[in-house]
Amino acid sequence: MGVRGRGGTCAEAFEQAALALTAIVADPRQVHPLERVELACEAPDDELLLVDWLNAVIYEMDTRHVLFCRYRVSLACHRLRGEAWGESVDVRRHSPAVEPKGATYTALAVRREADGSWLAQCVVDV
Amino acid sequence: MDISGFKPLSPCQWEMPATGAMRVPVVIFADETLLRAMDDKVREQAANVAALPGIIEASYAMPDAHWGYGFPIGGVAAFDPEEGGVVSAGGVGFDISCGVRCLHTGLQWDAVKAVQERLADRLFRRIPAGVGSTGELTLMPQAMDAMLAGGARWAVGLGYGDAADLERIEEGGQMAGAEPGRVSLHAKQRQRDEMGTLGSGNHYLEVQRVAEIHDEAIAAAFGLARGDAVVSIHCGSRGLGHQIGTEFLREMAVSAATHRIALPDRELACAPIDSEVGQRYLGAMRAAINCALANRQILTHLVREVFADVLPQARLPLIYDVSHNTCRVERHRVGRHMKHVYVHRKGATRAFGPGHPDIPAALREAGQPVFIGGSMGTASYVLAGTAQGMSLAYGSACHGAGRAMSRHEALRRWSGRGVVAELAARGILVRSPSLRGVAEEAPGAYKDVEAVVEAADRAGLARRVAKLEPLVCVKG
């Protein structure tokens, strides 16, 4: 499954890519922002950083059994600090479809588009 | 796929000669229709694999090959450590040792049909399935390491199943060379409460009936007869395997340059077999194989508990357990010599031919059982490895049908409720915590498994033995 985030900044594109990751599993509009998790990662370049970011989110989803509906990211020199808000998986309400296994390097891109907006995308193995 | 670069070696075997950076040719096993229907990415990815250091003979693709991450799914490639061969995390995949095991109920399908509804409900309640599900066990660090070293043997030691099961599992249920110390704390944390869980996506537990027998003698050796009821379990190494795949894919992608390996695609991430990271990956990957074997063993125990309650006359011996995402050291004929090589099978099943010493004595003369998973509404198949297959692609065969469309497209075409109702009308009971998941896994979203199996049989990779049709399907 491909995820693609777009935003006015690279950080916003990363936030939207993570929201797309949630949408692979369930409708983010059905998830309540009841708890907050902090995440941090760094990588040699922004593309690897996107993969690391999404994998950090997957790790938190898997080990805490939560879904996230809102993300905040700040970026500096290929270092990311992030926050994610969400709640425990509620099978009846969320009807979660599939577990993401890991973010991959397939169709991986982080770039500024001609219109000045940012795009962050890759394929997630499910 | 544009097949103009391929020449037919037989009606179900096609070769694309080595060009450019390729060290060996690409060989795809498929009839012309399947080959043409494959994505161009299969050719591109198989050619990329053919360019990796130390690859021997050919980069192979099975009849169900489709676009994967780096390696095609359905890809088989062997590497020689004496020729600078590599081990690739991308060549194994994220769901390390994902596989299928099949149990015979000892019953005819009409006995199951009589309690089908109750059996479906009880299995669904007992088998943890779907996103966020957890098992009964919580593994503390010491128990985690014991599981990673012991595999299904560890699970049997805890009372999950019988010692007799072990001889019907590849590697005797315990992968040698596993190094729990090479598995990260993150990977272990992901697995802490996931033992004995089915997972989601294309993973399933099915009660099936033997609908057709194609080879009476081999079917008899496997204990199968028309009308029998069997249980198939398809799942893997859960979060632990996913995390190991994620971590080593990244590490190998970053370190490839230091090993002077030029990667045309980062997903081909690999390292020399004799390198520190290569050895570390092998230790961790083998531990993940043990995790998958232990997981399927615990699920087997849960299935037996349900049957003991609903159908107490059922016995449920294990027919066999095969994995289809692995890298294993095997001895094969390479040219005029027998050599130990590192065989990567990604979405491909080991299918050793008759007489191979790694096949349990009771099945040895028939060839290794191979299980080809279908979807909720289509058939699965039992195949057997052949002598011919040993010289075609290191004793390998296909693993399933493969998706024909994206999950998005499936969700657009079908509703979960509709799929459940349609299958129920056909006598197939589906139980799942997620109707969206059911829609995404609709039978129509998969390719024709019959064509894949026929091509594998005609190519000589594995012999078609029996066709299984679902009665009950528990999906994650």
Where along chain B do its domains lie? 7-404+446-475
Instruction: Test A91 with B130 for CB contact under 8 angstroms.
Output: yes
User: For residue B383, which amino acid is it?
Assistant: L
Specify the pLDDT at position B447: 85
A25/chain B closest Cα distance in angstroms? 8
Point out the residues of chain A with pLDDT beneath 70. none
Instruction: Test B131 with A97 for CB contact under 8 angstroms.
Output: yes
In angstroms, the CA B317 to CA B102 distance is 9
Q: Would you say B50 and B22 are in contact if contact means Cβ atoms under 8 Å apart?
A: yes
Residues 346-405 of B with CB under 8 A from A: none
Write out pLDDT tens, residues B319-349.
999 999 999 999 999 989 999 999 999 999 9
- B264 — contact with chain A (CB < 8 Å)? no
Give the CATH superfamily of B7-404+446-475. Answer: tRNA-splicing ligase RtcB (3.90.1860.10)
Q: Which residue of B has its CA nearest to A45?
A: B254
In angstroms, the CA A5 to CA B280 distance is 35
Tokens of B85: 């061969």
The residues with which B103 forms a beta bridge, in sequence order, are B231, B318
Tokens of B257: 């340059």
In angstroms, the CA B221 to CA B80 distance is 35
A62/chain B closest Cα distance in angstroms? 6
Specify the pLDDT at position B448: 87
Q: Would you say A126 and A97 are in contact if contact means Cβ atoms under 8 Å apart?
A: no
Q: Which residue of A has its CA nearest to B440?
A: A97
Instruction: Test A102 with B246 for CB contact under 8 angstroms.
Output: yes
ipTM of the complex model: 0.92
* C-beta neighbour count of A85 within 10 angstroms: 17
- The beta-carbon neighbor of B435 closest among A95, A99, A125 is A95
Residue A18 three-state SS: helix
Q: Would you say B201 and B64 are in contact if contact means Cβ atoms under 8 Å apart?
A: no
Specify the pLDDT at position B146: 98
Cβ–Cβ pairs < 8 A, chains A and B: 105
Instruction: Test B436 with A95 for CB contact under 8 angstroms.
Output: yes
Instruction: Test B434 with A101 for CB contact under 8 angstroms.
Output: no
In angstroms, the CA B90 to CA A86 distance is 31
Residues of A in contact with B95 (CB under 8 A): 101, 125
Query: Please, what is the end-to-end C-alpha distance for chain B in angstroms?
Result: 33
Specify the pLDDT at position B463: 98
Point out the residues of chain B with pLDDT beneath 70. none
Residues 239-258 of B with CB under 8 A from A: 239, 242-243, 245-246, 249-250, 253-254
In angstroms, the CA B283 to CA B408 distance is 37
Residue B289 three-state SS: helix
Q: Would you say B285 and B327 are in contact if contact means Cβ atoms under 8 Å apart?
A: yes
B139/chain A closest Cα distance in angstroms? 13
Instruction: Test B433 with A105 for CB contact under 8 angstroms.
Output: no
Q: Which residue of A has its CA nearest to B69?
A: A106
Domain A2-125 fold: Archease, Possible Chaperone; Chain: A; domain 1 (3.55.10)
Catalytic residue annotation of B? 399
Q: Would you say B285 and B66 are in contact if contact means Cβ atoms under 8 Å apart?
A: no
Specify the pLDDT at position B204: 96
The residues with which B207 forms a beta bridge, in sequence order, are B231, B472
Q: Exposure of A62 by Cβ count < 10 A (0-12 exposed, 13-18 middle, 19+ buried)? A: buried
